[in-house]
Amino acid sequence: MQAPNIEMTHNQPEYLKNRILLIPSLIRKPVIFLKWLYLSREMQITIFLSVLFLFIPLYLPQLLEPVLNSLYPPIPEKRLFGLVSGVSTNPDLEFARSTVRISSWILWSGLIIMMLWVFLPRIVTFADRKLRFKEAAADKLVQERPGDSLILYNEALQWALNPDIESALKDKIEAVNTQFSTEQQVAPLPTERTIAIDPASTVASSENTDTRESALIEDRYRIRRRLGEGAMGIVYLAHDERLGRDIAIKQLSPTLIGNAELMARFRQEAKALARLIHPNIVQAYDFIEDENQAWISMEYIEGQGLDSMLTDQPMALDSALELAAQIARAMAYAHQRGVVHRDLKPANILVTPAGTVKIMDFGVAKLNESGMQTRVGTIMGSPVFMSPEQASGNEVDHSTDIYALGIILYRMLTGTFPFSGDARSIIAQHLTKIPDNPGDKRSDLPQELQSLISRMLEKAPEDRPQSMDEIVASIESVATHLTDH
């Protein structure tokens, strides 16, 4: 896929010449202002001045009260035919007090508006910087990872204030959608049996053009051939010459070595795998790093990706339940050890010829005690399997894996996904649309299983099953009832 040839001109200085035109855009996208408040260094100054100015309407009328009383003294008056003297409140005093109060609030509002007027170019520059970063990252991924590029283009669109830039981004999204849809229609069907280790990768062609063949890493791992290439790295079949066994070795892509954040995520993937010793999770053996490169050596598995096993026909009920139970047991184990996968999907699940599930690719996994934090507003994961909290860029926990497994179960048992469309549309549906009941698409699904899947796909994490163990118990209950009948 070629990057869409669409020119985009970020003429920010020209755009800033008329600040009035920016106000409707900020009103239309208040999240930009809120994120600026949250992330900008000027946040403290803004809040401090706002609070300080608040003293004007709260205390100015009290401070001016003596002055008003002297300007509008009480009016002497005679009562009872002039026999009793008294005073009455000057009718102009209350009017003056109201005028001062209203004027104080107008002054405070004016100062706030003036302050925002001063900061407006900085807010727009902040948004433009975020947009440029997202757009540049998306441009680089268009050819190899069009799905992820669509996510980044949509994130960039959230920061677009200039209508021309917004229109150009929409054109890019439409161009990628069109090309991606075309390529998906003409893409060859996967072979019945593939060898894989990096589930985000594509299997290499029969022609071996890899220049690293026969290279020796750490005087131990002899590269034999390339298996595939994913978003973060290249995966090779290698031979451990010390232990005499074949392994898979994942090399961080050379173009990403200088990216500190992605390097940290590569280390995090190794740490996540290292703490997970489970029959349904690919095992990590070693993490190797030098000044110019990093590798993870791991278990080499022969098998078939779950994604290549899925067709437009529903999977046999007993087979789907067995696979789902294995996935749930593995993820229950991972969650108990503080690891959240965050990108659970059929492409990340390998099934061996014996029917054993192996979960892979913990590249965006979250470790509970890790010091590495995902920024608020950052979307991570694959659109089709993304939980609502992921889609909105919020903090996630183990419930996001439960939601993803619900999508996988829905797909296995009905032959369709609960949501369809382009990446942008699917993300929106995760947030707003209630999926069709799986029983409406397959009549032989037990009611207990329909209820389980519907609960797993609830929008609010607290409404879903609260653990993978609970899901395992429900699946086993359904399987037992099927056996009894």
pLDDT of residue 114: 73
pLDDT of residue 162: 73
The greatest distance separating any two alpha carbons of the chain, rounded to the nearest whole angstrom, comes to 121
Percent of the chain surpassing pLDDT 90: 20
* Side chain identity at residue 137, one-letter code: A
Q: Which residues of the chain have pLDDT under 50?
A: 1-13, 181-211, 369-379
Q: Which two tokens stand for residue 177?
A: 């959608």
Q: How far apart are CA 335 and CA 399, in angstroms?
A: 10
pLDDT of residue 259: 73
pLDDT of residue 194: 31
DSSP character string of 272-292 = HHHT---TTBPPEEEEEE-SS
pLDDT of residue 319: 92
Residue 343 appears among annotated catalytic residues: yes
Same fold? 194-298, 305-484 = no
* Consecutive H or E run containing 359: strand 357-359
Tell me which of 343, 361, 401, 422 is the catalytic residue. 343
Q: How far apart are CA 306 and CA 301, in angstroms?
A: 13
Specify which residues 239 forms β-bridges with. Answer: 222, 246
Q: Which two tokens stand for residue 412?
A: 């296995």
pLDDT digits (tens, 9 = 90+) for 346-403: 988 999 988 999 998 776 656 554 433 443 334 456 789 989 888 877 788 899 999 9
Superfamily for the 305-484 domain? Transferase(Phosphotransferase) domain 1 (1.10.510.10)
Contact 463, 455 (CB under 8 A): yes
Q: Which two tokens stand for residue 116?
A: 């925002």
Q: Which two tokens stand for residue 469?
A: 């163990």
The domain ranges of the chain are: 12-183, 194-298, 305-484
Specify which residues 237 forms β-bridges with. Answer: 225, 248
pLDDT of residue 314: 93
CATH class of 194-298: alpha beta
